Homo-oligomer: A and B are copies of this chain.
Amino acid sequence: MARDIQERIKKLIIDSRLPSGASLPTEPELMERLGVSRNSVREALKALQAMGIVEIRHGFGTYVGPMSVAPMIEGLAFRTVAGHYRGEDSLLQLLELREAVETGLIARLAGRVPEADLAELDALVARMEAEAAGAEGGVRAETDRAFHATLYRGLGNLLLGEVLEAFWDAFHKVRTDLVDVPQDPKVTCRQHREILEAVRSGDALRAEQAIREHFGNIRTRLGTPVPAEHSHRSYDR
């Protein structure tokens, strides 16, 4: 029945063609419209909030959510953390997911990135190099995120870009929570520049190779150069 309440609220949004940010009925109004108690309404809204479908602002009201794929980050991240602590190589799997998808996409991107984006990417790599040279401990995560986000913007599919960003966020969140990753700023910069130049040149194979090398580098830094089946043994000896 709780499920039913969620469905009815979703139906309300769909049927009323409510856009993101539109205000939903207040809790008392929903109580009356749906014929259930405040408690049930709130539980349904909490679930919808967790799915990013509605947004709740204390003292202000309830609104239609931004319809982003951001909520799936939390689920993915939790799954990965839980798996990691149970001895699975879930972090590596998440990285492989990113690698597989980005490797597949980079080819169709080669030579098709708009000039404006290329300029922005140039600026981002320059910033990376500045950060790498600085004493702040290497390239900031935000810069790396921006590079990947800008790179795939050229695909012209908003959903695709969001999903890729979600994967990046989940990976980054888990990585910083779990493991202390040594960074080699110079290598990171060089690889990003190579990706950019490969894409600019329009050479799909070169771009693919550049992406693969980049991810290979991250994988090495994760400390799992060998398949998971063998990685534990070394600790037993």
Contacts and interface: CB of A to CB of B under 8 A. Distances in A.
3 nearest interchain CB pairs?
A104-B104, A47-B50, A50-B50
Contacts of A13: 82
Contacts of A108: 100, 103
A79 interface: yes
Contact of A69 (B10, B14, B75, B101): B75
Contacts of A157: 93, 96-97, 100
Given A72-B72, A75-B71, A155 B49 contact: no
Max chain B CB contacts within 10 Å: which of A74, A90, A104?
A104
A232 interface: no
A170 to B, nearest CB: 11
Contacts of A196: none
